[in-house]
Structure 1
Amino acid sequence: MWYRVFGAAATDVPPSMLATHLHAVGLPVVPHFKGDDLGWTSGQLVLPGGGSPVGIDHYLTDEDDLRDSLNAFAAELETMDYSPNNTRLMTHVISTKHLFALRRPLDHADEITLDKLCQEVVRFLAARTDGIYQIDGQGWFAADGTLLVQEH
């Protein structure tokens, strides 16, 4: 399952800040991040107990070729006219500065902790980047977890 954060602010979120937050909410992850001269580009969050780590990719719309992908998400939102939020979310997606993509692994022994980790990561990143997030098959959410558009 994929989780995506669409951040409108140009503000960067250092990996150490994310790791500190996760530890503060009781998630004992071991973080591993990679980067380049523009900041961090990817990472893995390893939970105790085995299983695959949660992978995170970080894209900057000014540097990475994301326009086609963002336009595809905006077009998908356009079809969700059953929600009064779809137009506002389309505008937000088009103005994205940071895109974070998390992949939830299927093979972890502690599904509850894994779900909590994924939720904490997307909410934290969305809050720090004036963002919204999307979870495949569930919908689009505000940074505080409020459902804005349900996917059908």
Structure 2
Amino acid sequence: MWHRIFGHSLDSPSPAALAENLHALGIGVEPHFRGDDLGWTRGELLLPGGGTPILLERYLTEEDDLRDMLNTFAAELETMTHSPNNVKLMEHVINTKQLVTLRKPIDHADESRLDATVQAVVQFLAAGTGGVYQIDGKGWFATDGTLLVQEY
């Protein structure tokens, strides 16, 4: 399952701060990140118990060719007239400066721990980038986890 964070800030949320935040929540992870002079670009979060890691990738709209993808998400939001938040979210997506994708693995033995970890990660990254997040098949969410637009 894919999660996407649409950030308005170019700030690169620190992998160390992310790991510290997760540890403070009682979620043990082993972080592995790599990047370049613009910040981290790819990361893996290994959970206790093994299994496939949570994969993260960070893209910058000025550096990476994201405009077509962002336009597709904005166009989809434009059609979601069942929500009063669709136009505001469409504008947010159009003005996105960085996109972080997170792929939730399907093979972890402790689903509840995995879900809690993924939720904490997307909320931390959304808060750190002035963003909102989207979960495939579920919808669009504010930083605090409030559902803004339901996906059907």
What band does the TM-score fall into relative to the shorter chain?
A: over 0.9
| Consecutive unaligned residues in structure 1, runs of 5 or more | none
Runs of 4 or more off by more than 6 Å in structure 1? none
Q: Which amino acid aligns with 2:127?
A: A
Does the aligned pair in 1 maintain the 2:12–2:40 contact within 8 Å? no
2:47 is the alignment partner of 1:47: yes
Residue 135 (structure 2) aligns with:
135
1:25 paired residue number: 25
Superposed CA deviations along residues 72-117 of structure 1, whole A, max 9, x for unmatched, are 1001101101110000000000111110000000000000000001
- Output the amino acid matched with 2:61: T
Instruction: Report the Cα offset of residue 36 of structure 1.
Output: 1.2
The alpha carbon displacement at 1:129 in A equals 1.0
**Structure 2 length as normaliser, TM-score?**
0.98
Tell me, what secondary structure is at the counterpart of 1:52? coil
Q: 2:85, 2:114 → 1: CA distance?
A: 29
Structure 2 distance, partners of 1:143, 1:64, is: 24
Aligned to 1:59: 59
**Distance in 1 of aligned mates of 2:99 and 2:19:** 18
Partner SS, residue 96 of structure 1: coil
Q: How does 1:3-152 map onto structure 2 within 5 Å?
A: 3-152=3-152
Structure 2: where are the runs of 5+ without partners? Answer: none
Distance in 1, matches of 2:6 and 2:55, equals 17
1:13-48 per-residue CA deviation (whole Å, 9 max, x = no partner) reads: 111111111111111000000111211000000001
Matched residues, percent identical? 64
Query: What RMSD in Å do the two structures reach over aligned CA positions?
Result: 0.7
Task: Give SS of 1:105's match.
Answer: coil
Q: Secondary structure at the match of 1:31?
A: strand
How many residue pairs match? The answer is: 152
Per-residue deviation at 1:10? 2.1
Q: Which letter maps to 2:108?
A: H
